Amino acid sequence: MPVVTGKWSERSTGTAAPTSYVAIGDSFTEGVGDPGPDGVFVGWADRLARLLAEQAPDGFRYANLAVRGRLLGQIVDQQVPRARELAPDLVTFCAGGNDILRPGSDPDALAAQYEAALVELLTTVGTVVVCTGFDTRGFPVLRHLRGRIATYNGHLRAIADRHGCPVLDLWSLRAVQDRRAWDDDRLHLSPEGHRRVTLRCAEVLGIDLPERADAPWPQPGPAAASRRDDLLWARQHLLPWIGRRLRGESSGDHVRAKRPDLLPLRSTRQ
């Protein structure tokens, strides 16, 4: 699962390369869809941490507090205080997606909650990267949430502008509109999808890379899913997800953060 290495551009960012990074969020940041050889999910944030470790020859520390299924309120209550306590140079703050999936969610209220948490983070954290949601136009069922996601994204961009935060804009990442960027459940990224997000975040942070996040896929992608494929997906993935919602359960009920402490991460070529 290689990630292209690159060089930190202090001229682009105006800051030195970070030596500590905390990732907070839900399944997207935990890395669901990108399994490692030991059975633990890897994901874009872990990949980014390894890339950042290449820029810190004197040592780099990394924590990943993300847990699948977490709502914004849970992330704010459980992960934001811990991130503030760890006080790293860099935090990536991706949250709200699971809330948007729920009927009746209010993007305006979610954005207000997100901004309040961001202000708290900035009291001890050097840089916070604000993450937008994906464009779901090509996904059955989820395409109906596109307007709500766009509204939330608009708020997030405005919040980032008010507080001088870089934005990981996933809506504009064309490479993930390809079906190969997604896991079979169509809710989580595939390993290559996670890799593309790593590249985009590295670009946002000012790392000079020989490969671009939106580089064309090597060959044309598969044809659009058939009705039979959609029905199979609904039976295997959508209905169980709905069942958990009706029972008040979450896929992360018995899951703990995979890297809860700022621990050293060696510089390795991926």
**pLDDT per residue as tens digits for the range 148-205:** 999 999 999 999 999 999 999 999 999 999 989 988 887 899 999 999 999 999 999 9
| Segment 68-93 mean pLDDT | 97
CB-based contacts of 231, cutoff 8 Å, min separation 6: none
Quote the pLDDT of residue 246.
56
Residue 189 backbone phi and psi in degrees, to 5: -70, 155
| Segment 36-57 mean pLDDT | 93
Tell me how far CA of residue 227 lies from CA of 46, 55, 197, 233, 234, in angstroms.
Answer: 36, 47, 29, 10, 10
- pLDDT grade for 39, boundaries at 50, 70 and 90: confident
Q: Are 129 and 167 in contact (CB under 8 A)?
A: yes
Tell me how far CA of residue 3 lies from CA of 45, 175, 194, 198, in angstroms.
Answer: 12, 16, 10, 8
- Is the pLDDT score of 11 beyond 50? no
- pLDDT grade for 86, boundaries at 50, 70 and 90: very high
- pLDDT grade for 43, boundaries at 50, 70 and 90: very high
| Stretch (H or E) spanning 45 | helix 43-53
| Domain ranges across the chain | 13-212+227-264
Q: How far, in Å, CA of 141 to CA of 147, rounded?
A: 13
- pLDDT grade for 142, boundaries at 50, 70 and 90: confident
127-131 and 167-168: which strand pairing?
A: parallel
| Segment 1-12 mean pLDDT | 62
Looking at domain 13-212+227-264, its CATH architecture is 3-Layer(aba) Sandwich (3.40)
Quote the pLDDT of residue 183.
84
Q: Which of 104-108, 115-119, 156-160, 266-270 has the lowest mean pLDDT?
A: 266-270
- pLDDT grade for 235, boundaries at 50, 70 and 90: low
Quote the pLDDT of residue 270.
40
